Structure 1
Amino acid sequence: MKTDFNEKQIQIFQVAETLFAEKGFDGTSIRDIAKEAKINIAMVSYYFGSKERLLEALIVYKTSDLKLQLESLIQESIEPIEKINRLIELYIHRINCNRGIYRIVHFEFGTKQRDSNLQAFAEIKKGNLKSLETIIEEGQKKGIFRKDVIIPLITPTILGTYFHFHINKPFFENLLNLNTEELYNNYIKINLTKHIQQTIKALLIYES
């Protein structure tokens, strides 16, 4: 799937993301999107073909540049554990800035039937996993990282911790006195990210 989109397609993405996040994928129709975007229904079909393909294109639009950032990170002359820390920062920042679309992907599209319809997104996930594998294998070759790491479970550990925190946002806001959106986002950027980094480090590094 292409990753360069025109102005009209990007306008449709913005409307679709808002509606998908508010009403859910099943609760949003092509007619709803066209009406909100003030365009003809036929234009959505012309650009994307179906609601599923629209979602797939939206995901690619929102996530494809992460691949470039990860590839650049791999080439940096820093230690593997620092690369892992940077990767976690990239992941958490990206998810927190795109909560709506990630919530749709990871919670409404967990079934086999729907996941099979998101081939482009699956390819992006495979590419991101490959970048993670490259970093971990570098650390293993240097004798820094454990050999028995189950690499495919690292990403779910990162994302699962973030999503558990966010799903229980009111609870943690009250518990941690995060009474403004700025305090909440800063806590994610600093404290939650550091916690996840420490967790992943504990999984990767040999015990002393």
Structure 2
Amino acid sequence: MTEYNDKQLEILKAAEILFASEGFDGTSIRSIAKAAKVNIAMISYYFGSKEKMLEALIIYRTSDMRMQLDIISKEDLTPSEKVDRLIDLYISRINKNKCMYQILHFELSTKKRIMDMKAFTDVKRQNMEAFTKIINEGQEQGIFRKDVNINLIPPTIMGTLVHFQMNRPFFEAHLGISTDEAYENYIENELTIHIKQTIKALLVHEN
């Protein structure tokens, strides 16, 4: 994981909030400096540009996923239990870092600027390798099907959660959810259970 000092982290977290609320183009270096209580020169010294700051933010928020996946893979759990832990990890991280995912989705979908995403791609590749290792373990034990498209499992998990989040007003009205606490509880319970059932249905042999 890339190491940042306390001041760099303050700048990145301030930038994250502003990028998510004001948009990348609508956020100035000056406003980030003000929110982080630093001078503009310090931001230039640490990150060089707003684009480089965005790249650093993305790497910071995604780079420790591999470590978490490795921990799960080494735990004394059945493959099915490890998949449950994987899903819990994906959901908790996306929910915790929803601002960053909102920014990332916008930047990758609009392609308005050229960003050096090699470091981010490398992190995603490493995460997929760790994820694949866990699924392979279940396949070797005859628990999971051999014909599973492993590459599509993470986007199936994330896509369901992101769709729920992006349509929050509809689901709040439809489900009678009236508070932030109730909304988060629904994600942690009903939605998580649904995603686990969906992934298990894809992985496990039909009876």
TM, length-normalised to structure 2: 0.93
The match for 1:29 is 28
* Residues 109 and 115, structure 1, Cα contact 8 Å, conserved in 2: no
Paired residue total: 207
Classify 1:100/1:137 alpha carbon distance in 2 versus 1 (closer, same or farther; 3 Å): same
* Residues 79 and 134, structure 2, Cα contact 8 Å, conserved in 1: yes
* Residues 60 and 121, structure 1, Cα contact 8 Å, conserved in 2: yes
In the TM superposition, structure 1's runs of 4+ consecutive aligned residues that sit over 4 Å from their partners are: 111-116
> Identity of paired residues, percent?
57
Letter in 1 for 2:36: A
Cα shift at 1:112: 6.1
The match for 1:129 is 128
Of 77-86 and 33-42, deviating more is 33-42
Q: How far apart are the structure 2 equivalents of 1:114 and 1:82?
A: 41
Unpaired stretches in structure 1, ≥5 consecutive residues: none
1:190 is the counterpart of 2:189: yes
Unpaired stretches in structure 2, ≥5 consecutive residues: none
* Residues 20 and 100, structure 2, Cα contact 8 Å, conserved in 1: yes
* Residues 2 and 60, structure 2, Cα contact 8 Å, conserved in 1: yes
Cα shift at 1:81: 1.3
Of 60-69 and 134-143, deviating more is 60-69
Secondary structure at the aligned position of 2:145 is classed as coil
Classify 1:116/1:50 alpha carbon distance in 2 versus 1 (closer, same or farther; 3 Å): closer
Q: How far apart are the structure 2 equivalents of 1:108 and 1:184?
A: 27
The match for 1:152 is 151
Q: How far apart are the structure 1 equivalents of 2:110 and 2:139?
A: 34
Secondary structure at the aligned position of 2:33 is classed as helix
What RMSD in Å do the two structures reach over aligned CA positions?
1.7
* Residues 91 and 161, structure 2, Cα contact 8 Å, conserved in 1: yes
Q: How does 1:33-182 map to 2 (within 5 A)?
A: 33-110=32-109, 117-182=116-181
Secondary structure at the aligned position of 1:109 is classed as helix
Q: How far apart are the structure 2 equivalents of 1:119 and 1:53?
A: 13
Cα shift at 1:24: 1.4
Q: How far apart are the structure 1 equivalents of 2:7 and 2:51?
A: 18
Q: How far apart are the structure 2 equivalents of 1:19 and 1:94?
A: 20
Cα shift at 1:183: 0.5
* Residues 51 and 115, structure 2, Cα contact 8 Å, conserved in 1: no
Q: How far apart are the structure 2 equivalents of 1:115 and 1:200?
A: 35
TM, length-normalised to structure 1: 0.93
Cα shift at 1:65: 2.4
Letter in 2 for 1:108: E
